[in-house]
Amino acid sequence: MKGMFWRIPQARRLLTIGPPFLWLGLFLLLPFLLVLKISFSDLRFGIPPYTPLAELKEQTLTLALSLRGYALLFSDSLYIATYLNSVKMAAVTTVCCMIIGYPMAYYIARSHPAVRNLLLLGVILPFWTSLLLRVYAWVGILRNDGLLNNLLQWLGIIDTPLEIYRTDLAVYIGLIYAYLPFFILPLYATLVKLDLRLLEAAYDLGARPWRAFLRVTLPLSMPGVIAGSMLVFIPSVGEYVIPEMLGGANTLMMGRVMWNEFFNNADWPMAAAVTCVMVLLLLVPLIIFQHNQVKQMQVRKRRRA
């Protein structure tokens, strides 16, 4: 009987994909639904600091949905500017990681296997240290009396310290430093599997190295580029630690806004509304990316057929 059960394709498929979907449902969908419920509540002084959505009094069930958080979110220019600034900083960080990370991933993929392992270890090594400690190290580097300014003044390059700490530039440096490995690793995994015979064929047909790169290597590495970009862009939008430790008071990012609403203002409905809109904002590029991936897979299947 057990063997017959395993021969059923639907049963095997269910047992294969069931545990991951159960994990996502418990630790992703359920918490998001709880936050979504809080976003439609109203603020009150008490524990919890929000009103219930449904209340039963005198055999009457009352359902009350408050749109105060969403109305304030889309009417207050501060929140709109914060969203736009978060997306801008995440996009700039992603582009900088592309510019810096692509040559690094390409070099690692083309290195000798023994050297390649050491280079990969150098990319992974920062993960062995807490992000908080690594960002705090940048505080000592970028502050006015920090290592960078002292070195530049000792070399005679500058006379007065550079104002980098507590600026957007410091946040960009911290974001690029923290998320660069997330771009390099998936891109390296794509480049290392690239069939070098395609490049040899391009050279035999008279293509120069830069042309072979643009026509062969770059298109075939796009899945790694897109995957790495997603891994950099999505967490950068909601980053809290780096803007808090390196940014100034005018550095507007969603992570800091959510923290202030939750813990400083104790306005859980407003913080939940900010969180839900941010999640929906991040789901749009993921849905578009998944849709394009499915289309490309269908096109490849048709070509093979």
pLDDT tens, position by position, 145-204: 999 999 999 999 989 999 999 999 999 999 999 999 999 999 999 999 888 888 889 888
The full DSSP string for 139-197 is HHHHSTTSHHHHHHHHHTS-SS----TTSHHHHHHHHHHHHHHHHHHHHHHHHTT--HH
The per-residue pLDDT for 187 is 95
pLDDT tens, position by position, 57-96: 777 778 888 898 899 888 888 899 999 999 999 999 999 9
Place of tokens 């859980």: 268
Place of tokens 């500058």: 158
Contact 245, 136 (CB under 8 A): yes
pLDDT tens, position by position, 253-287: 998 888 888 888 889 999 999 999 988 888 877 77
pLDDT tens, position by position, 102-116: 999 999 999 998 899
**pTM listed for this prediction:** 0.87
The answer on pLDDT for 128 being more than 60 is yes
Q: Is 45 helix (H, G, I), strand (E, B) or coil?
A: coil
As to burial, measured by CB atoms within 10 angstroms (0-12 exposed, 13-18 middle, 19+ buried), residue 174 is buried
Q: What is the mean pLDDT of residues 13-36?
A: 86
The per-residue pLDDT for 8 is 61
Q: Interior CA angle at 155 toward 138 and 103, to 5°?
A: 55
- The rounded distance, in Å, linking the Cα atoms of 139 and 175 is 13
The answer on pLDDT for 7 being more than 60 is no
The per-residue pLDDT for 49 is 87
The per-residue pLDDT for 9 is 67
The answer on pLDDT for 290 being more than 90 is no
Q: Is 41 helix (H, G, I), strand (E, B) or coil?
A: coil
Which one-letter DSSP state was computed for residue 53?
A: S
As to burial, measured by CB atoms within 10 angstroms (0-12 exposed, 13-18 middle, 19+ buried), residue 278 is buried
- The rounded distance, in Å, linking the Cα atoms of 280 and 167 is 28
For residue 56, the cross-strand partners are: 61
